[in-house]
Structure 1
Amino acid sequence: MKLNRLNTVMKAKGWTQVRLSEASGVPQGSISRFDKNSRHEDSHVFSIAKALEVEVEELFEIKEAAEEDAE
């Protein structure tokens, strides 16, 4: 399972959704829905990562099935 970490990365950098939208060109509504969706447009993911100056992998946390069962 993928857990989206966008809000965590944004908070660490002190960014708002509006600022990220302006910097990345991704609509603010798409950024708002990022943590709720399991599918994302590739171009949005890469644009967001580039604007935040992070690797794409930093926007996601992968949990193995065994880890999910333990919770």
Structure 2
Amino acid sequence: MYVQGKIKQILGERGLTQAKLAELANVPQPFISRFDNKVNQNYNIDNLISLARSLDLSIEDLFDIEERPDKRMRMINKKIKETIQ
């Protein structure tokens, strides 16, 4: 499970709809619906940060980082941490 599956899981656990999450995070609803696509995409980091904050999670909580310990994910994780500091 990567970010796509994680968002879907969180929505289910919290009983949220995509529309409600988009409203809470102040992001476009199509941004949320992209997570159902199952295709790895480039996501806007600012929107991911808004998403995490609206769910009271860290940005890392949106990702299953342990499942992708490759170099690319380490770079992404580093960029995310730099962005939110």
* Structure 2 residue ranges without an equivalent (≥5): 70-85
Structure 1 residue 42: Cα displacement:
0.7
The CA deviation string for residues 15-66 of structure 1, in whole angstroms up to 9 with x for no partner, is 110100111111110110035343110110000011111111111113247x
- Looking at structure 1, the residues matched to 9 and 45 of structure 2 have their Cα atoms a distance apart, in angstroms, of 20
More helix by share: 2
Structure with greater strand share of residues: 1
- Larger mean CA deviation between 23-32 and 37-46 belongs to 37-46
Aligned residue runs from structure 1 range 48-63, under 5 A: 48-62=51-65, 63=67
When normalised by structure 2's length, the TM-score is 0.65
Higher RCO (CA-CA < 8 Å; seq separation 6+): 1
TM-score computed with the length of structure 1 as normaliser = 0.76
Runs of 4+ displaced beyond 2 Å: 34-38
Root-mean-square deviation (Å): 1.9
Partner of 1:32: 33
Count residues in correspondence. Answer: 64
Instruction: Supply the AA of the counterpart residue of 1:30.
Output: F
